[in-house]
Structure 1
């Protein structure tokens, strides 16, 4: 037997085993996991959230899956695997992240004459309660003494599912004119929760600017970050999961509607054929009857099969 035929036979047998299903579910889960980071890019987020459920449905359908129960199981299994894999990837990324420097963001609501740069926290990684130094460099195109401006570190504190925010004021390290730039800093004692931080500044007139925010300092243990990412990943992946079941429902409903229409067409055809047969039989019976005994005869009979009466043309 040629190698190609043996390979085709082996693949056909493998396609009927449980391991084949495990393989394609694992591959689809990896595809969903790889697509997940693109849900945070504004231009492609909606497309990716639609591509995920389409991939989850089309690949099993393409390889021959048609059972509703299998589709339901597939969706739930892929959802769980993707949540676990994405959470593990995000946790390892955060725990291995390098220190970052925050800069002022560009926004029409922010004052373009105020500038924050080189915003940091040190140490960036810690495994036990520690005192952290928050530091940022501030410049103002309008100038003025540091006392004319209030600089803050905005700290987001996450414990389990609870979240809170606190603002800590930073103090100028020198009395330099802010037009030339001034460093601000403060020290904050923190535990081992999950933290996010950023900086903002405002002047006496209420004009203000701010940096972006990032996770840090990295102080919580691995399980805390994993649980945090698993929770928010689950919430986000519920969107493609709902679309997946919507696609599955539309496929099931359209197939059911086709079967219903075919069944109704068969019933209508049967109802039409049955009266026609009865009418034909009645017409035949009424057209040829023996006048002597009333028996039914055919047009080809020369005499009555019952009484023997001879028919005249």
Structure 2
């Protein structure tokens, strides 16, 4: 009587056999589902990690191969579909990140500019955003000029920066710390900002000194402000997703497929060469008579045997020259 484990194994094998009989479209769908699930899990565990670009293509190829989808053309086409899936998932993850930005504060490396923030972080094209930053004055006679906040839109290519001159908040300033502000709207759904200032003839810049490790695009600029609009931000992130899918993922998958193709081709070449060699050897042996196949014995070659002895072509035994039958294996000679 089979054990529960054996019954479970039998059911599993039956399920696999039934699954392997499914149409190729169904197998491709399952492969892409596994591919998408793995990518999503890796993005949750380690967002936007470079290691994902290596692990995911390798797993996709392994799943396809296990499902007997081994045609090079099919593999490359499925890789393209997988890259589209990656583009969508990347854009979705990036959009969700920018809809829930962590609190970030701008500051200069030496601490002369600090507490640079924007409020509110989210709004619309009509929202008034208040940019503020504090300046540490070296002494009571220090002069601050060109106090500017630079707001640039975050996009795949051709981002535009806007310079806004900041005003001194006299009620919140003193001899050692001066606070500046600027209230403005922003025309783009997703932005970055930094602060510039000239203090006593020296330039200082304040940005994000500790970018978030979960950011799709960690930069020196502080992320924000942004519109709380999924569609608008997703449209900005889609080109980044396409880049991730077709530049980061697909070339790796393509290289793996080409490696498999070359290994299969090299193996076929070796097999063909071996079969050709065997066929030629059999052809040569078929055209040689028994008498021509007689090989001089080792004893005769060394001068120790009789003049008429030879070696049996079947078993290698020394046979007298006048013999018609090998004394060892019984092979007959003409």
**Same structural fold, with TM-score higher than 0.5 when normalized by the shorter chain:** yes
Provide the secondary structure at the position in 1 that maps to 2:226.
coil
- The residue number in structure 2 matching 1:206 is 202
Looking at structure 1, the residues matched to 86 and 71 of structure 2 have their Cα atoms a distance apart, in angstroms, of 22
Looking at structure 1, the residues matched to 286 and 126 of structure 2 have their Cα atoms a distance apart, in angstroms, of 93
- The residue number in structure 1 matching 2:232 is 224
Structure 1 residue 116 corresponds to structure 2 residue 114: yes
The 1:236/1:10 distance shift into structure 2, 3 A limit, reads closer
Structure 1 residue 152 corresponds to structure 2 residue 159: no
- The residue number in structure 2 matching 1:35 is 42
Provide the secondary structure at the position in 2 that maps to 1:190.
coil
Structure 1 residue 266 corresponds to structure 2 residue 275: yes
The 1:29/1:92 distance shift into structure 2, 3 A limit, reads same
How far residue 282 of structure 1 moved from its aligned partner, in angstroms, is: 8.7
Q: Deviations over 1:29-68 (max 9, x none)?
A: 2222343474756xxx3x4432232222233334544232
Structure 1 residue 9 corresponds to structure 2 residue 6: no
Looking at structure 1, the residues matched to 253 and 30 of structure 2 have their Cα atoms a distance apart, in angstroms, of 20
- What is the TM-score normalised by the length of structure 2? 0.70
- The residue number in structure 1 matching 2:126 is 129
Provide the alpha-carbon RMSD of the alignment.
Answer: 3.1
Runs of 4+ in 1 over 6 A off after TM superposition: none
Alignment of 1:56-95 (within 5 A): 56-95=60-99
Looking at structure 2, the residues matched to 165 and 39 of structure 1 have their Cα atoms a distance apart, in angstroms, of 28
The 1:261/1:101 distance shift into structure 2, 3 A limit, reads closer
- What is the TM-score normalised by the length of structure 1? 0.74
The 1:136/1:94 distance shift into structure 2, 3 A limit, reads same
Structure 1 residue 246 corresponds to structure 2 residue 251: no
- The residue number in structure 1 matching 2:165 is 169
Q: Deviations over 1:93-123 (max 9, x none)?
A: 322446x3413254xxxxx252312x22223
Unaligned runs of 5+ in 1: 107-111, 285-298, 301-313
Looking at structure 2, the residues matched to 115 and 186 of structure 1 have their Cα atoms a distance apart, in angstroms, of 15
The 1:159/1:210 distance shift into structure 2, 3 A limit, reads closer
- The residue number in structure 1 matching 2:288 is 279
Q: 1:129–1:192: 8 Å Cα contact kept in structure 2?
A: no
How far residue 201 of structure 1 moved from its aligned partner, in angstroms, is: 2.9
Compare the two structures and name the one with the higher helix fraction: 1
